[in-house]
Amino acid sequence: MAKKRLSGFWNFIARTLLRNRIITIGILLSITVFMGMQWKNMRFTYTEANLLPDHDSINIEYNHFLDIFGEEGNIIVLGVKDSTLFTPEKFNAWNRLSKQLNALPEITMVLSTENLQVLKKNIKEQKFDIAPLVNGKIDSQEKLDSISDQLFNKLPFYENLLYNKEDHTLRTVIYMDKEIVNTAVRKDFILNDFMPIIKSFKEETQLDIRASGMPYIRTLNAKTIVDEIPIFLAAALLVTSLIFFFFFRSFRATFISMVVVIIGVMWAFGLLGLLNYEITVLTAIIPPLIIVIGIPNCIFLINKYQQEYQKHNNQAKALQRVITKVGNATLMTNATTAAGFATFIITESQLLKQFGIVASINILLIFVLSLTIIPTIYSFMATPKTKHLKHLNRKWVDGFVLWLENIVRNRKISVYIAAICLLVLSIIGIYQIRVSGSLIEDMPKNTSFFDDIRFFEKEFDGIMPLEIMIDTKRRNGATKLPTLRRMNQLQTVIDENPNLSKAVSIVNLAKFAKQAYYNGNPKYYDLPTNQDQAFIASYIKNGGAETNMFTNFVDSTGQIVRITTFMKDLGTEEMEKVEEELKTEIDKVFPKERYNVTMTGKAYLFTKGTTYLIKNLIISLALAVLLIALLMAYMFRSFKMIIVSLIPNILPLLITGGMMGFLGIPLKPSTILVFSIAFGISVDDTIHFLAKYRQELKMNDWKIKKSVYAALRESGVSMFYTSIVLFFGFSVFMISSFGGTKALGGLVSFTLLIAMLSNLILLPTLLLSLEKNVANKEGFPEPNIDILDGDEIEDEIDEKHEGI
């Protein structure tokens, strides 16, 4: 009864669409215009992706840090490693650049040689005065040499902050207004003001100036994402249309399919605007993804239309049967694909949740567009000519299918041996996969800003902020000498770690104050003793100049203090080692009953977020397998058949995992997406094959072998067509300059190719081998849903009888 109602439903849809073609077109145009109007609401992300949920303790600690000290990712750095910088002309130009930047309203402070301050002891008033290192324009080499000597040899406070002593590399530290760091103003400032100034300076001085820092990196990274969207769209359209035309040799069929996917892309952008979602590195790939997934729908529907017309030369009947017979199939296959994406919704990461929502909805929308636009447009066109149907009888495709049939028929043992060998190798490879929590690993490596990141890693040991926040649990406890000594002990461990930069905190200021008290002698750059403290404290109390510097490192109550360091771009394993070393020292130095110490910062947050996300994505993959298995269970009503059908779809995932291990491709958010996406798409082939196999069983009086071979011949062509489109379509993402997007495209393409071969070779081989236990009438009962319409079976049976 349910199947009759379903069949009646699709007949109703077919009649409604074809009888109300003008209304259908009007509705589609109205929705498209509405979606186009939502484009104005699209916006690009101006914040880093927070992979942790809001309620996670690490996220809460980071937000607590921001509440006390404000945005910590607001630093831009400029660096120059060039001996010619230390000439009066170029050194003056370097200082003028700092002054020019400091005058900009978006900049709150610039720390450079131009305004570098030296503490001077004022014995008369018993306080510290601030004196500039550079006073006015430098007019002689001797004066510059004196300044250079003082900077590199007598001011250890600024070492690794403003200079690298070993290579004589100079750095300028620029603090952006914290209020604009996570807004569109940041982008406009970096692209329209900051970068032109730097370019002009390069041209004027011929110095190889390097720029980096989180605001700068984020802006150029986001710009690259935006710039790649039209490239992806154009490449996806070009590749899929060429392949489509190669298969069909029909301009009008290609044109119709392009209309479908272009409208699908417009709806995808519109949905992003309608939901007020930001365009991120993930949501940016949805529009080209819709093209890649939409074309197989077009292939399936147009191919069916032409097959039906070739049978009875009746256009109206052919169009109606396209809807009634293929409606279930396209709905189920798109539903399984959407389910693969929808599982990302269960993750508590907003980045993946939004990606899953938009992708899954748009996949279902492209199904609706395909099923309505293709029959509607064809109904206005002339009937297909002989040349349009030639592709249905291509000998080379028949040769490929015969080759597959020969393998299934004569090489069962070889198929199983190959599958087992691949399985074993894959498991070995999977154990070699490493997890990556790198913040910059996926960034485009062919850009100058990526080279600049590596430059600052080499010269200043990194630019990724890592913060340690210490709560002394008492007012003014941060400035007490015992606390400073404990902090100094921890900073020594940080300074000795090759992956971390020299730490900066009030400890450095206390050392600077002691050096100043002893008349600037660098050998006294050390923590004050108890005796020193008594004398130095009076200088500070009398309005010591360095007290103004405390505000960035201590909260207003003097209870909470921070230690700031910067880290190199580390993977998860290396970061865990750094974290373990620091936590061991923290536990040893800071008694828990007297201090609360937390490690935080953007780099730390991202690493922890990656680990969290990978665990969640593994769960989402398991859920995808379960959901799709349940969907197939409902369709085919056979538990045994579900197990058999999952094998050829899980094996490609394992092979891909093994390949990642052997090739050193790390497990990270971008690569683990591959498995859910590929599984959701590859199962489509299984559904098509089993639906056709079930149909053939009924037509061939449950003769297993005959039905398997017939299903292979019938399904092989469409499975081959769609898999080739998907393979080349996802390969388009490999042109991306982002490592994650490139890996996603390559791995999905590879997985789908293996899945096609697995479904065309391993699945029928399993059916033949297990025919007595599984592939029979008892093991494969009448399905709840006929993927291929029951009337079609009767028609084909009648045709066979007529042939007899």
CATH number at residue 378: 1.20.1640.10
Reported confidence tier of residue 395, pLDDT bands at 50, 70, 90: low
CA–CA distance, 738 with 743 (Å, rounded to integer): 9
Q: Specify whether 356 is located in the same domain as 233.
A: yes
Q: Specify whether 76 is located in the same domain as 195.
A: yes
Q: Specify whether 688 is located in the same domain as 785.
A: yes
The answer to the question of residue 363 being in a domain is yes
CA–CA distance, 437 with 608 (Å, rounded to integer): 8
Q: Specify whether 362 is located in the same domain as 422.
A: no
> Which pLDDT tens digit goes with each residue over 620-637?
777 777 777 776 676 666
Q: Specify whether 380 is located in the same domain as 254.
A: yes
Residue 375 structural domain: 1-41+228-393
Domain total for the chain? Answer: 3
The answer to the question of residue 311 being in a domain is yes
> Which pLDDT tens digit goes with each residue over 410-436?
888 998 999 999 999 999 998 888 877
Q: Specify whether 719 is located in the same domain as 693.
A: yes
CA–CA distance, 696 with 793 (Å, rounded to integer): 8
Name the H helices within 571-703. 572-589, 602-636, 639-663, 669-699
Average pLDDT, the chain: 82
CA–CA distance, 252 with 268 (Å, rounded to integer): 24
Q: Specify whether 373 is located in the same domain as 419.
A: no
169-176/75-80 β-pairing: antiparallel
The answer to the question of residue 437 being in a domain is no
> Which pLDDT tens digit goes with each residue over 219-239?
888 788 778 888 888 888 888
Among the three residues 580, 600, 620, which one is the final residue of a domain in this structure?
A: 600
Q: Specify whether 592 is located in the same domain as 678.
A: no
CA–CA distance, 165 with 157 (Å, rounded to integer): 12
Q: Specify whether 201 is located in the same domain as 254.
A: no
The answer to the question of residue 53 being in a domain is no
Reported confidence tier of residue 793, pLDDT bands at 50, 70, 90: very low
Averaged pLDDT for residues 13-24: 84
Q: Specify whether 417 is located in the same domain as 492.
A: no
The answer to the question of residue 297 being in a domain is yes
How is the chain split among helix, strand and coil, in percent rounded to 5? 70, 10, 20
The answer to the question of residue 606 being in a domain is no
pLDDT at 4: 54
The answer to the question of residue 611 being in a domain is no
The answer to the question of residue 801 being in a domain is yes
CA–CA distance, 746 with 744 (Å, rounded to integer): 6
Q: Specify whether 295 is located in the same domain as 206.
A: no
Among the three residues 540, 574, 600, which one is the final residue of a domain in this structure?
A: 600
Q: Specify whether 211 is located in the same domain as 292.
A: no
CA–CA distance, 549 with 385 (Å, rounded to integer): 82
> Which pLDDT tens digit goes with each residue over 429-480?
988 888 776 667 777 777 788 888 888 888 888 778 889 999 999 988 888 8
